[in-house]
Amino acid sequence: MAGCLDDQVAIVTGAATGIGRAVVARYMEEGVRGLVAVDRDGEGLESLAEAYADRIRTVVGDVREWTSHESAVATARRAFGRLDVAVGNAGVFDFHRPLARYTPDSLVAAMDELYAINVRGYLLLALAAREALTESRGSLVYTASVASQEAGGGGVLYVSSKHAVLGLLRRLALEFAPDVRVNGVGPGGTLTQLRGTESLGQAQRTLGADREASAARIAQTNPLRLAQEPEDHAGLYVLLASRRDSRAVTGQLILSDGGVGVRPIAPF
């Protein structure tokens, strides 16, 4: 049975864990010819390489650095002959820290780190992949967030960075048309290994560390009462990469948040 992504070649950043790993697994199920997984987590990439053998290549790298993206695109072309979809997914979280809890120095340091990963990394991927995606008339898919539209999805730095992602995907959709489609998926609260920033001493803290407590908390934030898993979002990345199913879709953010936007004002 044919898959939605038969013969396509993809790059996924932040691929070792969480939503990135779920996207890799789903892309493999949907028939990609090859995939380049990018992450700082070398051990996580090794396990992906073991799972998918000759259909995957890995790049241990930091999305803040141009060379990581350049290497990923070169690897896709060298190993699989082309590039059809690039998924910008690597990110860090601020654990809802409000502005009042920063000093001037900590704000600058945390903003430099978080924006470099959550925003600059996405732009560097677009810059590196543009030529190859133009040749294939492919697509660029970003992991945005419910925080791209809702103020309560994180702290001041995370929310503003994810609002920036919405702006850049819309602008890039305009710039890259008509050859490349650019869209995003906006997950809500999800049980992942999304980490905090090194500058705030939260690099070892993860969003879903205490799964039971996190699940109970997240389920109360949306009308569907869902504590979402990474796999709950992966199908949307397939949809947006599919030339058959989303040929006319660009500049769009598809929210996958349990219905946060339709919450009533009063508790329910």
- Provide the annotated active-site residues: 158
The Cα diameter of the chain in Å comes to 57
Distance CA 70, CA 129 (A): 8
DSSP 183: E
Residue-wise burial string across 233-247, b where 16 or more C-beta atoms lie within 10 A, e elsewhere: bbbbbbbbbbbeebe
DSSP 101: G
Alpha helices in the chain (DSSP H): 18-29, 42-52, 66-80, 104-115, 121-136, 156-176, 211-219, 231-241
- Block residue for tokens 């070792």: 16
Sequence-distant (≥ 6) Cβ neighbours of residue 61 within 8 angstroms? 38, 39, 40, 67, 68, 69, 71, 72
Are 167 and 118 within 8 A, CB to CB?
no
